Amino acid sequence: MSTVGHPAATSGQPGRLTGNRDFLLLWVGSGVSALGSRATSISYTLLVYWSTGSATAASLVTFAALLPNLVTQLPAGALVDRWDRRRTMVLCNVGRIVAIGSIAVAVARDSVWLPHLMAVAFVEASLGICYALAERAAVFNVVSADRYGAATAANESRANAASILGQPAGTLLYALTRWAPFGFAVLMHLISLVTLLFVRRDLQAPKARADEPSGMLARVREGFVFVWGQVYLRRALGLFAASNILFQVLGLGLVVIVKNQGGTPPMVGILVVVNSVFGMAGAMTSNFYLGRWGIRRIIMGVNISWAVLMPLIGLAPGLVIGLAPMLVVLGAIFALIHYGAGISNVAGMLYVLQSAPDHLRGRAGSIVMLLSSGANSLGALFAGFLLDSTSITKAMLIVGGAMGVIAVLAVLGFGGRARAEEERAEAERAEAERAEAERAEAEPALGKTPAG
């Protein structure tokens, strides 16, 4: 399948991202929106777990927040490819303002109800998925083709920056008063809504082609055909899906370890800051590794490093004496894990969005997120039951053993000379197809003077 760039992406826009007004507006708007979502994500867990002491109850809210990854991704991707992207993002922000605002009011009135939290978490996450898919596709309408990699890395760094500020802000605001992080999220989504109104460039996907399927199922099927045709993406998705389930245990396990050792919510926030800083560092340095290793070696290296690091989390509480030293050790282990995650996230998303034609970017992104993260909701439930039924040390050793199996599969799937030759041939074929598509798009414009 040939990859077709959008005309707006190759029309001589400013090469530097800092000089691209529309990109900066999208970047800032999505960034503050993510900031609000990060603040509420940690606040849901703190609100439930510190009130009930039940990991299972906390995991139910996390399950509701992650369930859209499983049930919302596919229809959202198909609809985003048909709807006006700017309008979609505006409506998503309005919906989140209303939903999260209801939680802020309920908490302020001390009338928190677990089903209400679960319903809002589901709605907020569903709207967030639609927003993210529309924004990712829209970015490629406002930057030049040679800046795709830089824009993707900037967006991944922005996500980690939102974690650096959002989750610690959520814990601190929660410590101040329980409704504050939800009120903060409402304000952030409102700011995001305003920035969208000042974006000048058309963000809409190209009009439907004559041969494009009109039914929802047919459009989703077209997206699956594209994703399945990407050899290394197909192999990597299975690995990402399995490891993402384990990350749900790690996330809740961190809260459990800190609480069991006599820690406080702000201490969890500090560790989250460390994780996000290193995740952002991984994203910012991802182009360095992509240029020298390629996606194949990145996948193998990251999975092997995780298999080594994850069991150490369970051993730390028994080997390290004192709360402060244990937090330092945990922070170092989680930092290295998230550094690798930052690298692999940029590599995977760049591969998808750069290779997908514009009319398929919403669906391609949704399918990749479904296959790689759709099981996260089940992973959240598994995390709660596992951590309530066994010790934290045993739970982390189980996670480490499972990660070891995943690492072996990564080496088998991506190692060897034959796999290297396939990767090289696929890269050359994709580059040739892209160059041919860009030449075809440039030909009608020859001899014409751009307006303005």
448 — pLDDT class (breaks 50, 70, 90): very low
Helix (H) or strand (E) holding 113: none
Most confident of 151-155, 168-172, 207-211, 248-252: 248-252
Report DSSP state, residue 8.
G
User: What does the pLDDT average to over 149-178?
Assistant: 77
Q: Give, in degrees to the nearest 5, the angle at Cα 135 between 134 and 136.
A: 95
Calpha distance 48→60 (Å, rounded)? 10
Three-state SS annotation for 352-415 = HHHHCCHHHHHHHHHHHHHHHHCCHHHHHHHHHHHHHHCCHHHHHHHHHHHHHHHHHHHHHHHC
Encoded tokens for 321: 């004496």
| pLDDT for the residue numbered 451 | 40
- For the chain, give the number of residues: 452
What Cα–Cα distance (Å) separates residue 295 from each residue in 21, 214, 233, 274, 298?
A: 31, 34, 9, 26, 5
Q: 37: closest CA among 157, 241, 175, 192?
A: 192
114 — pLDDT class (breaks 50, 70, 90): confident
- Of 130-134, 374-378, 429-433, the one with minimum mean pLDDT is 429-433
Encoded tokens for 175: 């410590």
User: What does the pLDDT average to over 87-112?
Assistant: 89
1 — pLDDT class (breaks 50, 70, 90): very low
User: What does the pLDDT average to over 376-389?
Assistant: 81
439 — pLDDT class (breaks 50, 70, 90): low
The residues, any chain, with a CB within 8 Å of residue 341's CB and separated by 6 or more, are 247, 279, 282, 302
What Cα–Cα distance (Å) separates residue 112 from each residue in 104, 109, 116, 179, 264?
A: 10, 8, 7, 10, 22
Where do we find the tokens 């952002």? 280
Calpha distance 377→366 (Å, rounded)? 16
pLDDT in tens, 324-366: 888 888 889 999 999 998 888 877 776 666 667 766 767 777 7
CA 338 distance to own-chain centroid? 13
Three-class secondary structure of residue 263 per DSSP: coil
* Cβ atoms of 151 and 23 closer than 8 Å: yes
Does residue 378 surpass a pLDDT of 80? Answer: no
Three-state SS annotation for 132-175 = HHHHHHHHHHHCCHHHHHHHHHHHHHHHHHHHHHHHHHHHHHHH
Calpha distance 183→82 (Å, rounded)? 33
Q: 338: closest CA among 215, 149, 157, 128?
A: 157
Q: 272: closest CA among 228, 217, 211, 337?
A: 337
| The model scores a pTM over 0.85 | no
CA 375 distance to own-chain centroid? 14
| pLDDT for the residue numbered 2 | 31
